[in-house]
Amino acid sequence: MITHRLRRNRKSQHIRDLVQETTLSVKDFIFPMFLIEGKNKKSEVKSMPGIFRLSSDLLIKEMESCMKLGIFTFDLFPNISEKLKDKTANESLNEKGLYLSTIREIKKKLPEAVIMSDVAMDPYSSDGHDGLVVNGEIKNDETLEILGKMALVQASAGVDIIGPSDMMDGRVGYIRDELDTAGFTNVSIMSYTAKYASAFYGPFRDALDSAPKFGDKKTYQMNPANSREALLEAQLDLEEGADMLMVKPALSYLDIIKLLHDNFHLPIAAYNVSGEYAMVKAAAAKGWIDGDRVRDEMLLSMKRAGAKIILTYFAKEFALAQKNRKS
């Protein structure tokens, strides 16, 4: 005789809802957005259908649209003209430049919006690397000085969450000290704690034209074969003052998300990266998968693994789908 019949808790939608362990909400999401120069400019990222590079005026309108759907946090990435790039990423400190002026305009027009920044040299570097290149080597400690200055001008412009994506050793502590010394004690740091040297970043680099001009990023981004190393990175980021810990990418690193969730009490974020987005869109366009269902299942898996926060290009379309289901 069967005593335990687990199917009894699956027999209707309402009962399934009652016992559901994990739920997704638009409140879980950060929406990454791409910024370009000009006015009234909109350019689709070919490898990311439905995702656009937007000039600041259109970007602000898009953010307003997202906020009406319940998305209030945005991670901004600038597409910088090649003529403005140099070895030391000086354009990142330009108060009148695209990135900082747009952040100030957003905070003026949309004060409720939460802005996360990107702190790394690659969008502004003529070398395309996240750190300072000297004689073919990415220099760690010299890069920290540049990143610290970058974080300060971003905080001054109104950024709420600093996002160091560079993977230099000691950068969280350096940036925290710079921010605190300058009086920005309320500015948060979401560290890219376990950022792997992944093949899933291709479409993102298309969007920003920020691929390395030589070599790869394996001397600073993590080896995809390693998991225990993520614990070391997380412990250091915790000790150095990080407020949130991120795993990037997400889908192939669910075990890392769970590992950090089980071992640390800080909120864990997962970055559902461009390649993960592009695969779903490409397969759905071919009719090989149900794109909406795969999207939701993918995001749910990240939340189930322990991600409190999910950075995802699916944020707006998920929110629209949720709204349509309710109406």
DSSP 22-40: ----GGGEEEEEEEESSSS
Question: Which one is catalytic: 85, 217, 248, 303?
Answer: 248
- In angstroms, rounded to a whole number, what is the distance separating the alpha carbons of residues 115 and 326? 28
Contact between 107 and 64 under an 8 Å Cβ cutoff? The reply is no
Both tokens of residue 57?
Answer: 């005026």
- In angstroms, rounded to a whole number, what is the distance separating the alpha carbons of residues 280 and 244? 27
Residues in Cβ contact with 6 at an 8 Å cutoff, skipping those fewer than 6 apart: none
Nearest to 154 by CA among 130, 134, 178: 178
Number of neighbours of residue 144 by Cβ within 10 angstroms: 22
Q: How many CA atoms lie within 13 A of 15 on its CB side?
A: 7
* Burial class of 89 by CB neighbour count within 10 A (0 to 12, 13 to 18, 19+): buried
- In angstroms, rounded to a whole number, what is the distance separating the alpha carbons of residues 16 and 153? 49
Report CA torsion sign: 43, 44, 50, 56. negative
35: left (phi over 0), alpha (psi -120 to 50) or beta: beta
Nearest to 191 by CA among 208, 167, 210: 167
Question: Residue 128 CA to chain centroid, in angstroms?
Answer: 18
96 labelled catalytic: no
- In angstroms, rounded to a whole number, what is the distance separating the alpha carbons of residues 18 and 305? 20
248 labelled catalytic: yes
Question: Which one is catalytic: 195, 217, 303, 316?
Answer: 195
Task: Point out the residues that are catalytic.
Answer: 195, 248
